[in-house]
Chain A
Amino acid sequence: MSRIKNPNDVMVGLVLIGLSVFALVLAWPLKPGTLDAMGPGFFPRALAFLEIGFGLAIVAQGLTRVGEPFERWFPRQIFFVLASIGFFAATIDRLGAVVAIAGTVLVSCLARRETRIIEAVLVAAGMAAFVVLVFRVGLGLPLRVWPWGNVY
């Protein structure tokens, strides 16, 4: 790895290039139009090309200019925090707010090894009650509370 002086920059550059190539593929069928009558494709296409340029420049900067090494990664934290949001997305519609919220709290608590179960359960119950009271009862938003409940 001696040739890469700043791995952070290289990674940012590569991600940007990847995203802009993806955008370019998506935007390709759109008509670019002409300069005096730009079509829907002009701006995205121009931006994607510009971004590929910036991405390459950032990679080049990472290869030539010394920077900080990678920070340590914590897969456990990333996974469980994102998974808790995923759990919410998967359950809120069908199983209702109580299940979704309690699950989100419990899953997110797994991100940290030291959290005690009793603490997690208390927070889960408290949050579920709070959200249902504020959003459903208080603000009257359409929100399924229990798996067998109605949205309205």
Chain B
Amino acid sequence: MDSFVSLFHGFSIALQPANILYCLLGTLVGTLIGVLPGIGPLSAIAILLPITFYLEPTSALIMLAGIYYGAQYGGSTSAILLNLPGENSSVVTCLDGHQMARQGRAGPALAVAALASLCAGVAATFVIALFAPPISQVALMFGPAEYFSLMVLGLIAAIVLAHGSVLKALGMIVLGLLLGCVGTDVESGALRMALGLPGLFDGIGFVPLAMGLFGVGEIIRNIENDRHQSVMQTRVRDLWPSRDDFRRFWPATGRGTLIGCILGILPGGGATLGSFAAYTIEKKVSATPERFGKGAVEGVAAPEAANNAGAQTSFIPLLTLGIPSNAMMALMAGALMIHGITPGPRVITSNPDVFWGLIASMLVGNALLVIINLPLVGIWVQLLRVPYHLFYPMILVFCCIGVFTVNNSVLDVMLLMVFGFFGYLFIKWHCEPAPLLLAFVLGPLMEENLRRAMQVSYGDPAIFVTRPISAVLLLAALGCLILVLLPAFRRTREVAFQEEN
């Protein structure tokens, strides 16, 4: 029951006026970028990262987390009203949500999405509060060998659960690890691959890398397919779902939440995967699968519950093991480290305010989101009319000024340009850059633990398989790799991501 006492402590932090304000700000921004199709939460958080330097670490995290789960709410709005996923994780919401809107039931569809997200958000918060402390206790027993193996598992799992070519994802991971090597070697003090540029002595900046790959690359891409979306002229009336809707709503939300929570915790998991899985499962267990795709309430509730639950529980591996499970959590890890907090099992004990404040803020944020989303939905729809060609120069300016003010470094702005170009190339060549960012964050940790493990074992690599936990983790990683190479699994994986296109 300690967890609940601590959770109350968390509320005392999350309910401070300033933190409520940042939570509101985060959820507002999240909703905004969720609604706007041009920009995803990854690029938005990358762009806003520099601004959080001037906040308290707790406030900064509360705001960033708000953006992430807020985007899950906002994404459903444009999915339902425009058949346009504002965000990857709301792709499946389009299927039934938009059908409901076309049948004149946009209001109930939005309400179902918001309520499902709220239920899932509340449940996920308690899941984190209950499971995070014990996991961090286990993690405290980890030695360098276990940590190294855990990171290997994290990186491999990230590939399996992502879509696209496995080989290319592996290539991206190694490239990320290589980029992570740049700068001063912590152990020997030697400069590595810094090209003699003083700006690189501390390593490649996380902000220009993330912002370039995800922000700038995406902007160029979006200008290319700049087409005007016609906003559907639906009047959103009668928000409240009918009694029949509610009968279908509860079980679907429950299953969606469960699936989202589980998939969120897994390495490589997160919001998107959960929503796809929840939709597929909901269709399987339904007595009337033919209603799916024609406006089934379950088809909105389950994926929306799952993506919100997954968005929140993916914080567990980051805050307990120090392992970001996806690119979004890699950004959060970056934000923590900027504030001098190393993500890992010690966060709960050494920075209880940050940990419990963040968790409690998720409850606050979810409540705020329902308020932001339902009555104000008209405003968000209006925003969709801001033309992208006036919007992207503003984003670019924020990118530049954001990168520059971190270190007052012109080199960082140049790096932003270089990485932006690469980000664009990778998008063009159908190569997902998310594993690169994950590997970039994990790289230095991996190297440090590898070197320590090898020192401990006097240079014997067998340490990774003779220590039981490490061996199990490596076996799991190997299993993931084999799984993804099996033809049967590959086909299912392709089918699962098919609906995305």
Beta-carbon nearest neighbor of A74 in chain B: B224
- Residue among B420, B421, B447 with the highest chain A CB neighbour number at 10 A: B447
Given contacts A26-B193, A77-B220, A81-B219, contact A12 B171 (CB under 8 A): yes
Task: Determine whether the beta carbon of A112 is less than 8 Å from that of B454.
Answer: no
Docked CA distance A120–B391 (Å) = 11
- Which residues of A in the span 2-56 have a Cβ within 8 Å of any Cβ on B? 8-9, 11-13, 15-16, 19-20, 23, 26-27, 30-31, 34-44, 47-48, 50-51, 54-55
Question: What is the interface size of chain B, counting residues whose CB is below 8 A from a CB of the partner?
Answer: 61
Given contacts A36-B454, A81-B219, contact A8 B430 (CB under 8 A): yes
Given contacts A16-B171, A43-B181, A112-B226, contact A142 B454 (CB under 8 A): no
Docked CA distance A120–B390 (Å) = 8
Task: Determine whether the beta carbon of B392 is less than 8 Å from that of A78.
Answer: no
- Which residues of B in the span 435-478 have a Cβ within 8 Å of any Cβ on A? 447, 450-451, 454-455, 457-461
Docked CA distance A146–B175 (Å) = 40
Question: Which stretch in B4-12, B238-246, B398-406 binds the other chain?
Answer: B398-406
Task: Determine whether the beta carbon of A101 is less than 8 Å from that of B219.
Answer: no
7 A-B pairs within 8 Å (CB atoms) are namely A19-B175, A23-B181, A43-B177, A85-B413, A109-B389, A114-B389, A143-B405
Beta-carbon nearest neighbor of A91 in chain B: B410
Task: Determine whether the beta carbon of B396 is less than 8 Å from that of A84.
Answer: yes
Residues of A within 8 A of B (CB): 8-9, 11-13, 15-16, 19-20, 23, 26-27, 30-31, 34-44, 47-48, 50-51, 54-55, 57-58, 61, 67-68, 70-71, 73-74, 77-78, 81-82, 84-86, 88-89, 92-93, 97, 100-101, 104-105, 108-109, 111-112, 114-115, 119-120, 123-124, 127, 131, 135, 139, 141-143
Please list the 3 inter-chain residue pairs (A to B) with the smallest Cβ-Cβ separation, ordered nearest first.
Answer: A36-B459, A35-B459, A40-B185
Tell me if B287 is interfacial: C-beta within 8 Å of chain A: no
Task: Determine whether the beta carbon of B223 is less than 8 Å from that of A81.
Answer: yes
Cβ contact of A54, chosen from B174, B399, B408, cutoff 8 A: B174
The interface bits of chain B over 165-189 (1 if a CB of A lies within 8 angstroms of the residue's CB, else 0) are 1011011001101100100010110
Task: Determine whether the beta carbon of B428 is less than 8 Å from that of A73.
Answer: yes
Residues of B within 8 A of A (CB): 54, 165, 167-168, 170-171, 174-175, 177-178, 181, 185, 187-188, 190, 192-193, 195, 216, 219-220, 223-224, 226, 389-390, 392-394, 396-397, 399-401, 404-405, 408, 410, 413-414, 416-417, 420-421, 424-426, 428-431, 447, 450-451, 454-455, 457-461
Task: Determine whether the beta carbon of B397 is less than 8 Å from that of A30.
Answer: no
Docked CA distance A20–B404 (Å) = 28
Beta-carbon nearest neighbor of A57 in chain B: B167
Task: Determine whether the beta carbon of B165 is less than 8 Å from that of A85.
Answer: no
Task: Determine whether the beta carbon of A123 is less than 8 Å from that of B390.
Answer: yes
Beta-carbon nearest neighbor of A143 in chain B: B405
B237 to chain A, nearest CB (A): 35
List 16 other contacts, CB 8 Å, given A57-B167, A61-B167: A23-B178, A27-B193, A36-B457, A43-B181, A43-B447, A51-B174, A67-B430, A74-B224, A81-B396, A85-B400, A89-B417, A97-B401, A100-B400, A112-B223, A123-B390, A123-B393
Query: B residues within 8 A CB of A143?
Result: 405
Query: A residues within 8 A CB of B219?
Result: 81
Query: A residues within 8 A CB of B429?
Result: 8-9, 11-12
- Residue among A85, A92, A114 with the highest chain B CB neighbour number at 10 A: A85
Docked CA distance A34–B451 (Å) = 10
Task: Determine whether the beta carbon of A54 is less than 8 Å from that of B396.
Answer: no
B159 to chain A, nearest CB (A): 12
A52 to chain B, nearest CB (A): 10
Query: B residues within 8 A CB of A30?
Result: 185, 190, 192
Cβ contact of B167, chosen from A23, A58, A81, cutoff 8 A: A58
A14 to chain B, nearest CB (A): 10
A129 to chain B, nearest CB (A): 12
